[in-house]
Amino acid sequence: MDEVEIKEGEVKLLMPSDCLNSKYDSAVFYNKDKTFKRDLFTLAFSILKPKTTADCMCGTGVIGCRFYKEYPSKFFFVDLNPSALKYAEKNAESNGLSDFSIEKADVNVFLSTHKLDCVVLDPFGSPSHFIDSAFRSFRKKGFLFISSTDAANLCGAKPKACLRHYDAFPLDNFFCHETGLRILLGYVARRGADFDFSIKPLLSFKHAHYFAVLVEVEKSALKANDCLKKIGFAEADGKKIGKMWLDDFNDESFINLMISKALERGMEKHAEFLELLRGEIGMPLFYYNIHEIASKTGKGGVKKFNSFIDLIKEKGFKAVRTHFNVLGLKTNAPEEKLIELMK
């Protein structure tokens, strides 16, 4: 089997060469399209510094290796694919990991029989099948990193699958990506509550074809009850959406720490993205399409985005761009006022 060595972040990774050309048919799974997410997750891990971490469905071991470079705690590389574990072990050794364990195991079995401070779930498709086991693995407090590539389900293209996997109703419209992220967080919160855990979203976003969330979990029935109050439904286009997380999906203090670290490391593009996430904190649910607003004026012209935002703010409203869509506008101004200001 032909092999190739690549560099990602601060680590070097050995993998079968077909990982870079055909990730779905390769002997070991590695998705180079998720490098941006791994950059942000690694940045977050450098702040959190948990003592024990499970890199579940580890593939090449890229996440565990990158995390270890930030904080050398105990790592478990978990996968059922023996080829993946072989490369995860090689990569762990070549990158200087001194305290790690290679675990050929079903993720649900492993998590249900170990106590951990941090769990990384990076499956192909929906993470919903592993959430319960993740909560079983936590002690009193912990951190849960989740990736989800089943955007078709969460965003409403496959509503029946969303109902099966997340017990929620999505909606396939312009702001479907925010709906999908909130449905994912709502599901995590509900499953946590079943084990008397609360969640606090620290970092949540949609990028490319996937969703990514990082939540802090804490064992507390009272706090779990409070979490459930933040889950509910919304209505749009005459349809019900939810169950979903209705509160902020990023923590301002944590995002501020991440922005500072990103700038220290020369990660300007990541800092700009994090600035968008910070701007969304405290804003109302969902967002408008600026082109759709312009089309309703009857004139067809579209004001420059930043100038339009300034105009909205001059009228005493809040307004920001959203990370979900380059045409997306989050604001507390009513649509009628937006149309008036666009004229």
pLDDT tens track for 182-219 = 999 999 999 999 999 999 999 999 999 999 999 999 99
Mean pLDDT computed over 69-73: 94
CB atoms near residue 123 (< 10 Å): 18
Confidence of residue 301 (pLDDT cuts 50, 70, 90): confident
Q: Is residue 24 predicted with pLDDT exceeding 70?
A: no
Q: Is the peptide bond before 304 cis (omega within 30 degrees of 0)?
A: no
Q: Is residue 257 predicted with pLDDT exceeding 80?
A: yes
Confidence of residue 319 (pLDDT cuts 50, 70, 90): very high
Nearest residue to 187 (alpha-carbon basis) of 149, 244, 237, 226: 244
End-to-end CA distance of the chain: 62
Mean pLDDT computed over 152-162: 97
Question: What share of the chain has pLDDT > 70, as a percent?
Answer: 99
d(CA 312, CA 255): 25
d(CA 301, CA 342): 8
Q: What is the DSSP letter of 284?
A: P
Among all chains, which residue has been given the structure tokens 């009193």?
140
Q: Report residue 267: phi and psi, to 5°.
A: -95, 70
d(CA 61, CA 197): 28
pLDDT at 36: 97
Name the segment(s) of the chain with CATH classification 3.40.50.150: 3-272
d(CA 294, CA 315): 18
Confidence of residue 68 (pLDDT cuts 50, 70, 90): very high
Choice among 30-34, 99-103, 168-172, 265-269 with the minimum mean pLDDT: 30-34
* Model pTM score: 0.96
Q: Which fold has domain 287-342?
A: Phenylalanyl-tRNA Synthetase; Chain B, domain 1 (3.30.56)
Domain 3-272's class? alpha beta
Name the segment(s) of the chain with CATH classification 3.30.56.70: 287-342
Strand positions, DSSP E, the chain: 3-8, 11-16, 52-56, 74-79, 100-104, 116-121, 138-148, 197-207, 210-219, 231-236, 239-245, 288-289, 319-322, 325-331
Confidence of residue 27 (pLDDT cuts 50, 70, 90): confident
d(CA 39, CA 54): 18
